[in-house]
Each structure stands twice: as structure tokens, then as C-alpha cells.
Amino acid sequence: MRQLHKFSSKFFFIAILIAAIFCILTCRVEAQRIIRRDITRPLTGADSVKPPIKNVNPPRVIVNATDTSGIPDSAGLLNDSLPNQKIDTFSLKLSKDSLDGPVNYSAEDSAVILVQDKKIYLYGKTKTEYKDISLTAPQVELDQQSQVLTAYNSKDSTGQVTEEAHFTQGENAFTSDTIRYNFKTQKGLTKNTITQQGEMFVHGTFVKKVSESVTYVKEGLFTTCNLDEPHFAFKANKLKVINQKLAVSGPAHPEFEGVPVPIYLPFGFYPLSQGRRSGLLPPQFATNEQFGLGLEGLGYYKVMNDYWDVKLYGNIYSYGGWSANLNPTYRKRYRYSGQFNFGLQSTKFNFKGDPDYFKNKSYTLTWNHSADSRARPGTSFSANVNASTTTYNRYVPNSPQLNYQNLLGSSIAYSKTWAGKPYNLTVSANHSQNNQSRIVNLSLPDIGFSVSTLYPFQSKESAGTKKWYEQLGVAYTGNFRNQVSFYDSAFKLRNLIDTLQWGARHSIPITLSLPPILGGAIMVSPSISYSQVWINQKFRRKWNDAAQKLDTVITKGFFIDQQSSMGLSFNTAIFGTYQFKRSKIYAIRHVIRPSLSINYQPDLSRKHYYTEKVDTTGYTARFSEFEGSLYGGFSEGRYGGMSFQVDNNLEMKLRPKKSKNEDEVIDSTKKPEFRKIRLIDGYGFSTGYNFFADSMKLSPLQLYFRTNLFDKINISASATMDPYQTDDRGRDIDKYAWNGDKFKLGRITTGSVSLSTNFQSKPKDEGKEKEKQTQLKDMKNDPALMGDQQRLLDYMRQNPAEFVDFNVPWSFSLSYSLYFREQFKADYSGFEKIFTSSANFNGSFSLTPKWMFTMNGYYDLDTRKLQTFQMSISREMHCWQMSINVTPIGPYRYFNFTISPKSGILQDLKVNRTRSFYTGY
């Protein structure tokens, strides 16, 4: 009996303990379900929401948002040692209208929980989250029974709004004074709401959200201005908005600064979707003195599929002139991208019967294609075609840059490199034309094949230092080309065949790398090379005694010229440093890189040179019969001598700057950083001496100089100095220039100097400048945006004043070039020097923070005339921009006034006035 009694006592004690634990857990779960921040079972009720707690005074519990110590806990449930169970193992039956996710909320100030009414009031920078919905507001009321959340803004003592309620769901967001939202039905009602759809801002006095994507607006505004009170907008009494797709309104009218404009539309349709969309391209009205009245830019844009789109647009004028352009664009990510443009232009100046009547037809063709290197490793294909009739650019209105673009060029190239093999193949088609002389050159095909350096004596499995003969390398380079030339004004098939030329060039270099001598100070490199050219014609001059002039004779056929050479070169470097003890300059270093080569070249081209009489006095000159061929012949004469070159650069090192702040702590563990400055990037000369020549053994000196002063001014210069005296006709004689009556090193026969610089102030907003550069980089790297980028660049070139950067207060760039050379006079009586020099400049500066002045021009120093000049004045108007463009110089002079929104979607909503004047060439 005692054992049974003991067993019964233990069983009774265990049962009581289990029952107590069960009761504690049940009470704990129920308490947490009521007071926790996750609302799992809201009750159904009316849609009305009670006013905030400030208008009622029921029994309440005040809880700090970050502290749970204020919650009554008579049972000590919140502070016991049991772990907080995240998963409820009890089977709780939930109602069908329960939310399918938790509602998380927080408040910086405090939270008021009404347990009996099942309401929660949050104060001070509140945040409520439910699935993809996020709400922040200064004051929030959450009703568990109706599942309705109400958010309010906050105002100061003067009634001004200090903080608004912000609602976000997925990619959609809006700001309101008051927000009422039902979590279950996902319907809401807001007051004084602002939301953004792409570049468009939608304002609504009353907004009703009926679903996740559909919203109704009463007393709405559509604008691209991001201010709470926009500068302009389209106002409509009723709107329906489908997020990121479109918006439809009833009667609408524009407003500026809140003042309605009496222009009413019966309805409004506003596309809000992002990306490409097919549609009409609206034209703009234009007035041109030569073309008449016209519509420009009228056309249609069609999205074919994800990879293709096409734009067809053109201009039409009252005098009968017109132009049309077909512009398809294609792209496939990680494969290829490109665009094509074909344009026809029928130009008519004035009416028939007018003395200045003119008619011309022309065309243009451009094609850009690039392939991603990852698509087919080892193979590439690219195209850059820019061809037109030579008169097309001349008659493009309001585009001085195109009017003066006389040189055009094109290239279509395919290349292949074999993996693991030294072969490389390139096949290309090239085009060049001069619109001034009207000469067009076509090269088709142009084939190049090369073999990288091979080492035939190198062991496949080598160890240690290589033998000298293992460094012997052989390579090959070959080119084959066809070319035709013609005048576009006299294009005939027979003339095309007559101008056909073809040729080839082969080169086989043999190199040998020897170990350095004198402890590695001097590098020694012997070399042997053989070259051969194939030529299809000979060109010879013949003096005509009867006509007293030179006649030319062209002989077609297959001809070969060849050349071989061998040499030995020595290279080294000499360093010199001068240190300063008491100066900001720590040291100046001078580096000299001399090189000496000994070469021998036999005379293999002597038979292709001849002497011919050139004037009535019996004066003769030496010519090559391969003159004017594609590859030309090699020079005549045997060469055995040496060439010498000296290259220099000059650098300076500055000591670290000392801190002006005596209290600044200097880290002694870091070494002071010296600043290097390149004073002169390079300067030097090169020349040669031919021991086998019977006269004029010293070659002309080639001089060069380049530097970048202060990292701002780029200067480069080069010249050729002839060391010999000349006769009365200006030709060299076998006497050095310094052997005359006056000491002279020689005379400069050719030379060039170029200078460029660019200065600009720091951006007003560094963050905005970085964001701009990032956007440009992303657009450049994304093939899907290439077509849009190209169209934007074309528009920017045509309307530069509409893209003024007000973030940079001022900028200025200048470039100058000078080139001169000596050439034979037309009668071969001597030499004359031809000079060409020009300067380009452009700049901008802010007259005021809102006014910007820009200009650019081209000055020809030979004619001492300003060839082109453009200037513009732009006004920053927040969401709008005004510009005035003037081109007072050139064959096409025009005046343009434009005021337009900055937003791209309203690019065609602008006031434009253009007047053009043609002054002739």
C-alpha cells in the first residue's frame, strides 16, 4: 500500500505540474496574440475609423516603442526563463478574413494600445510594413477590427505641414496629407496626394486606390515639375491612372504658375509606361529663306520586336524641297548592336523663274555596327560607314558642322585570330571622299594576313637559360588591296575601270635577342628584313619638245620591286638627378635614351628610277616609275651607314606640403608622399649617315617635342631640318649649311605645332556631376540603350543650347595647329613653302546663376577670317529651359528661339522659331 500510495502521489504531482505548464503556455500565447505587433486575426466591422487618441480618453496602456517594461505583466510571463517560441505548435483556428501576412509597426516616440477596442496609435516617425507595403508617417491609427490604417501628417503652430505621410507598394509610391488604407481589400483613400510615374508627377486633391494598379483622381494635375506647387501642369477634374502604363482624363487644359490657359482638350491620354513605344513623331514648324515654310521631323517610330526598331521621318518645304530618312536600329545583348540610316534630299532654292533658283538631289548612307567580343572569341566584325554625295552636307539647313565637313571615311572590317596558333586574318572594305574636290576612293577588298614571330630553333621542353640561337625569330606580314577612284560628278563604269589599281606588300622580318652587355647596361638587337611589293602600273614622264611640256604615260601590267636590309642596334638609358636641399623642389631627374643602329641596304630599286628633262632650260629631275601606285616603290641607292637617335624626358619631384594647422596630428607611421611632375614628356632628334652615298651623306634631322604643362596645356611640335645649302632653284647641293659665310645648322623644310587646352570651374554640386557621369557610363555600356543614345547625341548636336550644363559655372577650350612644308613650284623652278594654320575655340560661362552664354567657332589664320561662329544664350527655368541660338557667319546663317520642358517625354512640347538665310559659298 505504501508503494502504491507513493506511486499515486508522484503521478498526481506530475499531472498537476503538466496542467500548470499547459495553463501558463496557453495564457502566454493568448497574451502575446493580443499585444504583439503582428496582427493575425482582425475582426470584420464598419469601414469608419475613429479619430486619433487625442480626441478620446478611454482607458489605455502607454508603451514606449523601444521598451516593453510598461506592459502589465502580473503573471510574469514576459520575464520568465522560457524561450520565445517563434512557431505556435497549438492548432489555432483562424477566420477566413485573416490577413495572409504579419503587420510590423514601430514608432520613435510612443505606441498607444487599446486592448479592448483592438486599436493601436503610433506617434513620432512611425513605420508600418505589410508584405510589399511600407508606410511612414508622423501619426498612425491602426484598427484591427476593420483592418483599416489611417495616417496623418503633422503641422506646426502656423498650420504649415512639417512632415507628410509616405506610402510605398512595390515600385509605386506617393505622398499625402491623409492616408486611409484597408489591408484586406487593398483599397484606400488619400487627400492631397503626389505620386511619380516615370518622369511624370501626378497631383490629386482626392485619390481613391481601388486595386494594386488602378487609381482614380479627383481634381488632378499632370506635370514633369517636381515641386509641390508645380510651375506648369495639365489640369483635369477626373483622372484614371494605371500604374506604369497610362492615364486617361476628361477635359483638360494647361496651367502656368496656377494661371489657366484657355486651351482645352476634350480628353487626355498620357502614356506612363517606360521603354520603347511605337507612335507618330510630331513635326515642328520652320521658316527658311531658301526652302520656304516647312514642317521638320514629321514621321513614325515603330518597335518591331525586342531587337529591332525603325524610325521613318522627313522634312517638307513650300518651295518643293523635301528630305526623308530611314533609321533602323538593332541590338542583341552580349551579341551585337548597330544602327543604319539612309537619307534622300531634294533641295530646291526659291521658285522656278527666280534668278537664284537651284535644284539638287543627294543622298547619305551611314551604318554603325559593333559585335561583343564575348559572342565569338577570336572573331570580330565592325562597321563604321559614312558616305554621301559630295553635295549632301552642303545643303543641310541649320547645321554649320555638317556644312563644313568635307572629309568622310568608312570602314567595314572582319578579323579572325586562330586560338593557339600565330595566324591573324583581316578583311576590310574602306572608303574616303573629299567633298571639296569631289574625289571618291574605294578600297575593296583590303586583305591582311600576318604570322606572329616564330622561334624555329627553340626547344619544346627547355630548362634554364636559353641558347642564343633559340632567340632567333621569324615573322610575316602581307597586305593585298584593290582601289578605284572617281569624281562623283563624272561617274562612269569605263572611267571606274581605268582608275582601278591593285597591289600587294610582303614583309619578312628576322630578329634575334641577344643578352645585354656591360652588365646589362646596353641592349643589343641584330635584325634582317626582306620586303617586296607588287604593282600593277608604271607611271613615266616624258618631255614633249613640240608642246614644250611634260607628258605622262601609264603602262598596265605586273611589276615587282623589292628591298632587303640588315642591321645591328644598341640601346641604353642614362639617368641624371639633381637634388635641392632647401627648396620645395626635392629633385629634378633627366633621362636620356640614346640608340645607335648600323644598317646595310643594297640598291635593288635602281632600275625603276629615271632622269627626265622638266623645262626648256634643260633642267632635269629624278623620278620613280612607280610614282602614284598604291604601295609605291622603294628608295634608290645603296645604303651603308648608321642612324642615331636621342630621346629625353625631364621630371621634377616636389616635397610633401606641410600642414598649416598646428593642431593637426601627423601619422608618423606613414611615409610622406612626394608629388611627381613631368616637365617635358619627350624631346629629341634622329638622323643618319650613309657611307656609300656619293654625295649628301648626312640625312635630314628629325626634331620633336611634346609636353603637358600643369596637366592642362598639351603642346607637341615636330620639324625636319635639311643640313645642306641650296642652289638658285632651291634644290640641295653637296655643301653643309654651316660651311657658308654665316653659320647655320640648316633650314626647316617641314614642321608642325599643335596646342590644346581645356579649363573649367568645379561643379556646383559634386554629387550631381558624379551621378551624370555614372548615367552616361551606364548608357554607353548597355547595348539596349545604344539606339536611344545615338538619337540623343544627334539631337544634342543639332540643338546644343538645349543641353547646357548649369552645374559648371564656366568652361573654355582652345586648340591651335600650324603646319608648313616645302613643295615644287608648278614650273619646277624651285620650292615654295605652304602654310596652314587654324584655331578652334568654344566656351561657356554663367552670366547669372540662371543665365548661361556659350560659343564656339573656327578661325582660319591663312585667310584671316572667322569661318564659323555660333553662340547661344540659355535660361534655366527649373523644369523648363529657354535658348536663343545665332549663327551670324557662314553660308547658312540662322536665328533660333526655343522654349521647351526639360523632360524627355515632353520634348516635342516646345515653342520654336527659326529663320535661316543662305549667303552662298
- 612-662: pLDDT as tens digits: 888 888 888 889 999 888 888 898 888 899 999 999 999 998 888 765 554
The pLDDT of residue 877: 84
DSSP code of residue 267: -
Three-state SS string over 154-175 comes to EECCCCCEEECEEEEECCEEEE
Three-state secondary-structure class, residue 817: strand
Mean pLDDT of all residues belonging to the chain: 80
72-86, 235-249, 315-329, 835-849, range with the lowest pLDDT: 72-86
For residues 232 and 849, which has the higher predicted lDDT (pLDDT)?
Answer: 232
Choice between 357 and 854, residue whose per-residue pLDDT is larger: 854
| Long-range contacts of 151-157, Cβ-Cβ distance < 8 Å, separation of 24 or more | 151/126, 151/176, 151/178, 151/179, 151/181, 152/52, 152/177, 152/178, 153/177, 153/178
Left (φ > 0), alpha (ψ -120 to 50) or beta: where does 297 sit? left
Place of cell 528661339: 897
> Comparing C-alpha atoms, which of 223, 197, 221, 222 is closest to residue 901?
223
- Is the per-residue pLDDT at 496 higher than 80? no
Q: Residue 866's pLDDT is what?
A: 87
**For residue 297, what pLDDT is reported?**
87
Q: Around 769, how many Cα atoms within 13 Å sit in the side-chain half-sphere?
A: 11
What's residue 752's pLDDT? 94
Output the 3-class SS for 655-706: CCCCCCCCCCCCCCCCCCCCEEEEEEEEEEEEEEEECCCCCCCECCEEEEEE
CB 312 within 8 A of CB 340: no
More confident residue, 537 or 436: 537
C-alpha cell at 106: 514601430
Tell me the C-alpha distance between 873 and 897, whole Å: 10
Helix (H) or strand (E) segment spanning residue 770: helix 766-781
Paired residues of 425 in beta bridges = 416, 449
Where does residue 276 rank: exposed (0-12), middle (13-18), buried (19+ CB within 10 A)?
middle
Looking at per-residue pLDDT, the higher value among 902 and 918 belongs to: 902
285-301 pLDDT tens trace: 887 777 888 888 899 99
Instruction: Give the whole-angstrom CA distance, residue 150 versus residue 613.
Output: 104
Spatial distance between the Cα atoms of 339 and 329, rounded to a whole number of angstroms: 4
Q: What is the pLDDT of residue 806?
A: 67
Contact 860, 651 (CB under 8 A): no
The predicted model gives 68-93 an average pLDDT of: 43
Q: Give the single-character DSSP code of 522.
A: B
Q: What is the mean pLDDT of residues 781-791?
A: 51
pLDDT tens digits for 392-423?
888 887 676 677 778 889 999 999 999 888 99
Nearest to 428 by CA among 443, 409, 449: 443
Supply the pLDDT for residue 391: 84
The whole-angstrom separation of Cα 921 and Cα 919 is 7
pLDDT at 357 (0 to 100): 78
pLDDT for res 507:
94
Average pLDDT, integer, range 194-216: 87
Higher pLDDT, 745 or 14: 745
Q: Which residues contact 678 (CB under 8 A, 6 or more apart)?
A: 649, 650, 651, 707, 708
DSSP bridge partners of 142: 120, 149
Question: What is the reported pLDDT for 38?
Answer: 39
Q: What is the pLDDT of residue 65?
A: 41
- Confidence label for 600 from pLDDT (cuts 50, 70 and 90): very high
The whole-angstrom separation of Cα 507 and Cα 891 is 49
Q: State pLDDT tens for residues 603-614.
A: 999 899 999 888
User: Which of 350, 346, 345, 355 has its CA nearest to residue 288?
Assistant: 350
Is residue 216 predicted with pLDDT exceeding 90? yes
Q: Are 688 and 643 in contact (CB under 8 A)?
A: yes
Give residue-wise pLDDT tens across range 744-762: 888 888 999 999 999 888 8
Residue 696 C-beta-side C-alpha neighbours within 13 Å: 14
Cell numbers representing residue 153 in the block: 501628417
What's CA 499's distance to the chain center, in Å? 40
Question: Rounded to whole angstroms, how far apart are CA atoms 793 and 341?
Answer: 15
Instruction: Judge whether 300 and 312 are in contact, CB under 8 Å.
Output: yes
Q: How far apart are CA 789 and CA 803, in angstroms?
A: 14
Alpha-carbon distance values, 690 to 140, 693, 744 (Å)? 96, 6, 22
Best mean pLDDT range from 268-277, 436-445, 487-496: 436-445
- Split at pLDDT 50, 70, 90, the class of 531 is very high
Least confident of 342-346, 497-501, 714-718: 497-501
Instruction: Read off the amino acid at residue 683.
Output: Y
With bands split at pLDDT 50, 70 and 90, how would you rate the model's confidence at 329? very high
Q: Are strands 701-709 and 501-512 parallel, antiparallel or unpaired?
A: unpaired
- Range with the lowest mean pLDDT among 134-138, 249-253, 579-583, 750-754? 579-583
d(C-alpha 775, C-alpha 770), whole Å:
9
Dihedral sign of CA atoms 291, 294, 297, 301 in order: negative
Whole-number CA gyration radius for the chain:
42
Choice between 647 and 353, residue whose per-residue pLDDT is larger: 647
Q: Are 139 and 152 a contacting pair, CB within 8 Å?
A: yes
Name the residue with cell 521638320. 296
Higher pLDDT, 200 or 449: 449
Q: Is the peptide bond before 445 cis (omega within 30 degrees of 0)?
A: yes
